[in-house]
Amino acid sequence: MKIFRSQGFWGRLAVLLLVFIAWGMASFCSLAKDSKAVRMRIHSLQASMGQEEIAVVLTDEAGEKFLPIAVGGDQALSIQLGRNGQTAKRPLTHDLLASIFKALEIRVEKVTITDLRDGVYYAEIALKQNGRTHQIDARPSDAIALSLRVEAPIYAMPHLLQSMSDLKTKEREETSGQTEITSWGIKLQELTESLADFFGRREGVLVADVMENGPASKSGLRAGDILLRLDKDELRDFDDFMKAFAAKKEAQSVEIGVLRGDQNLTVTIKMANE
């Protein structure tokens, strides 16, 4: 009987040790896998002509790899607002979630884009409360939008990343629908159907890019702004802009009516030779 009990004790101890070792190895593997994740930042939001979805383009800190993730218009708008530090008139879902986490003293440590399966990206949000860490499954769009509101870092697993040279090729293809206004230092794009859904407006001209230290940049104009008025001329579409611009080519300064998020602003572009 003593031998049986002794064997039972040591047997149970052996099982416990095996469970502990297995748990330790699983934790180590998880940490090892997580340690390979690459820190990312948002490079841009890009809409393709004729497509309903918008790509959130992430790049690594070295600028050598990128990851494009297609999101819907609502998610793209939430990401853009978070990126610009703007808030909607009423809290969006990600604003509400950030407020709840703050009230409950839950910290978002990081978000990680973990995998791509059957054309669908997967992500995890690492939450910490009272010394305990919780891994929560999430859509990448939700994870990114939340991270921007709580200033949490964004990571991605290396097997998901693509070469930056591929992004440059893609950008050349995407910018074929854009027009550069050299004298102002901006690139403009007409509001396609997908862009109109994204920005919630059918009329106006989108500022696709702003060149650093150009007249438009110095005026405070930003990529993502929508031009609504050039002096007294209303801008319903790109043709309206080109007509108004042609009439103002020699002007020393031009007043622009701009929609930025839900704000109507006025900026003045002054020519470099003024």
Position 70, amino acid = A
Tokens of 208: 């696709």
CATH class label, 38-166: alpha beta
Question: Where are the domain boundaries for CATH 3.10.690.10 in the chain?
Answer: 38-166
Listed in order, the ranges of the chain carrying CATH 2.30.42.10 are 182-270
For strands 132-138 and 120-129, give the pairing.
Answer: antiparallel
Task: Average the pLDDT over 52-57 and give the result.
Answer: 78
Residue 243 pLDDT > 50: yes
Residue 84: alpha-carbon gap to chain centroid: 10
- Domain 182-270 is of which CATH architecture? Roll (2.30)
SS3 call for 229: strand
pLDDT, one tens digit per residue, over 184-236 is 888 888 777 767 776 777 889 888 778 878 888 889 888 788 899 999 999 98
Q: What number of other Cβ atoms are within 10 A of residue 258's Cβ?
A: 20
In which element (H, E) is residue 70 found?
Answer: strand 65-71
Structure tokens given for 193: 């159907």
Q: What is the pLDDT of residues 11-27, one digit of tens each?
A: 554 544 454 444 445 44
Spatial separation of the C-alpha atoms in residues 18 and 81, rounded to whole Å: 50
pLDDT in tens, 104-161: 999 999 999 999 999 899 999 999 999 999 999 999 999 999 999 999 999 999 999 9
DSSP 8-state class, residue 57: E
What integer pLDDT is reported at residue 32 of this predicted model? 41
d(CA 19, CA 10): 14
